[in-house]
Chains A and B, each alone.
Chain A
Amino acid sequence: MQEFVAAFAEAFNLIVAGDGDLLEIVGLSLRVSLTAVGISCVIGFPLGAVIGIGDFRGRQCIIVCVNALMGLPPVVVGLVAYLILSNSGPLGWLDLLYSPTAMIIAQTILVAPIVTALSRQIVEDFHAEYAELFRSLSVPHRTAVTTLLMDAKHSLATVALAGFGRAIAEVGAVIIVGGNIDHLTRVMTTAIALETSKGNLALALALGMILIVLSLAVNATVSLLREASGQPADA
């Protein structure tokens, strides 16, 4: 127990002192996950909207597939990304394996289905409310998509948040395609796994605490943005 408390105290000191290694790991984690979530939103929001309000053959099949992809195991995603990016893979010539870019690609594969599936559901719900108005005003399809995305922006912010939560917390995909290389591809989750196995609980705990604080901070930011805009989620 005493060892545990000491590790906690040391972890706290590392954070307060702004330890260089710690900041580097946190910085890379944020860069990788935020970029992956950004790309996922650019892909997932419009795709989800098109599926949500679309009326085409195979729509239900696509919805089932996208929903199923939400539960992709990160290690499987890491393995697939590894096979694609390795020297013998189709994108091996890009020489991206064991780089932050490879980690971004893996996390995008992981997060994009989540963003797409949740956006689809939200946009579909909004469309159920707006459909008659759109028909009455003869709103073109593209305008309908952009209008629904615009009006659902607060709910979609929550979707982005869910994607970020998935990305920042996963370890399986980034450790396979990133390799957990010190000062290059080491992020919070892979570092926690490594430092724990080495017995360096202080750094692992410090990273864990930062991970939790980050999660709280992102949630609080979205709530504050919502309040600042004067619109609750259903307004």
Chain B
Amino acid sequence: MPDTGAMLPVQVSGLSYHAGGRTLIDQIDLEIASKGITVIMGPNGAGKSLLLRLLHGLLPPTSGSIRWDGQPASDAHRRRQAMVFQRPVLLRRSVAANIEFALDLHGNQDPARRDTVLSAVDLLDYAAQPARRLSGGEQQRLALARALATDPEVLFLDEPTANLDPAATAVIEAAVGRIRDAGTKAVFVTHDIGQARRLADDIVFMHRGRICETGYAVTFFDTPRTSEAQQFLQGELVL
């Protein structure tokens, strides 16, 4: 089990990101808890995926800071995180070789570890198959397995089920649930209210690059405080 106490919680202070003359993330202050699944939700264009990329260090913020357990974000922190993208990016190799690539980067060449993570997402029987010949759901499971291979302390998931059917979505959600139970912190982006209800321990609700509301999932879904969140949960258009 990863020692999440080592780099969490993450504290975000005055975080902004500007591009093309527009403010896409606007002065965000946020603290993400050490345990469980934090779901970042909101309508399209709210800045959810962008916030995830900033947290993971894929993009440098225009201003503001991200601190992991009080320390400024660094490459060392990123090596203890992993990310699953909305559209899985797989190497043009076999399923097993995709896992081995991530393992090699962390100095682990143990085939047992490779088989363990493939088993965790029910892909062990496909180990020798070309990764890009898998179905969309299988590809996303492989991307998840590759992320898990590095034994991350924090796992970022950017709408990993956005293009999947319900069966494939259920497999991914079950895997994420097991990851949470194993002690890994998960930060999950979705605009699917049902999925957020199923997975979230706590919620970050965004709209137009700002955080409107944060809190425990049960509280958020029962008594949303902001009009944007209320509209969103009622299925109304949030403009």
Contacts and interface: CB of A to CB of B under 8 A. Distances in A.
Interface of A: 129-130, 132-133, 135-139, 143, 147, 150-151, 230-231, 235
Contacts of A132: 58, 85, 89
Interface stretch (B75-83, B162-170, B191-199): B75-83
B198 to A, nearest CB: 25
Q: Which 5 A-B pairs have the closest CB atoms?
A: A151-B92, A133-B89, A136-B83, A138-B79, A235-B132
Nearest to A130: B89
B78 A138 contact: yes
Task: Classify the interface of chain A: helix, strand, loop or mixed.
Answer: helix
Interface in B58-78: 58, 75, 78
Nearest to B56: A136
Contacts of A150: 93
B165 to A, nearest CB: 23
Contact of A231 (B79, B92, B105): B92
Interface in B80-100: 81-83, 85, 89, 91-93
A138 B105 contact: yes
B236 to A, nearest CB: 33
A230 B75 CA distance: 37
Contacts of A151: 91-93
Interface of B: 56-58, 75, 78-79, 81-83, 85, 89, 91-93, 101-102, 105, 130, 132-133, 150
Nearest to B53: A132
A159 to B, nearest CB: 16
Given A130-B89, A133-B89, A136-B81, 6 more contacts: A138-B78, A138-B79, A139-B105, A143-B105, A151-B93, A235-B92
A147 B81 CA distance: 21
A80 B177 CA distance: 67
A147 to B, nearest CB: 7
Nearest to A153: B92
Contacts of A137: 82, 102, 105, 150
B101 A147 contact: yes
Task: Classify the interface of chain B: helix, strand, loop or mixed.
Answer: mixed
A133 B87 CA distance: 11
15 contacts: A129-B89, A132-B85, A136-B78, A136-B83, A137-B82, A138-B78, A139-B105, A143-B105, A147-B101, A150-B93, A151-B91, A151-B92, A231-B130, A235-B92, A235-B130
Contacts of A231: 92, 130, 132
B82 A136 contact: yes
Given A231-B92, A235-B92, A235-B133, A133 B105 contact: no
Nearest to B82: A136
A33 B56 CA distance: 49
* Interface core residue of B91, B132, B133, B150 (most chain A CB under 10 Å): B91
A150 B91 CA distance: 10
B160 to A, nearest CB: 14
A136 B102 CA distance: 11
B58 A136 contact: yes
Nearest to B75: A138
A147 B91 contact: yes
A147 B91 CA distance: 9
A153 B130 CA distance: 15
Contacts of A235: 92, 130, 132-133
A133 B150 CA distance: 13
Nearest to A229: B130
A91 to B, nearest CB: 41
Nearest to A232: B132
B150 to A, nearest CB: 7
Contacts of A129: 89
* Interface core residue of A136, A147, A235 (most chain B CB under 10 Å): A136
Nearest to A129: B89
A143 B78 CA distance: 17
Contacts of B91: 130, 147, 151
A132 B89 CA distance: 9
B143 to A, nearest CB: 9
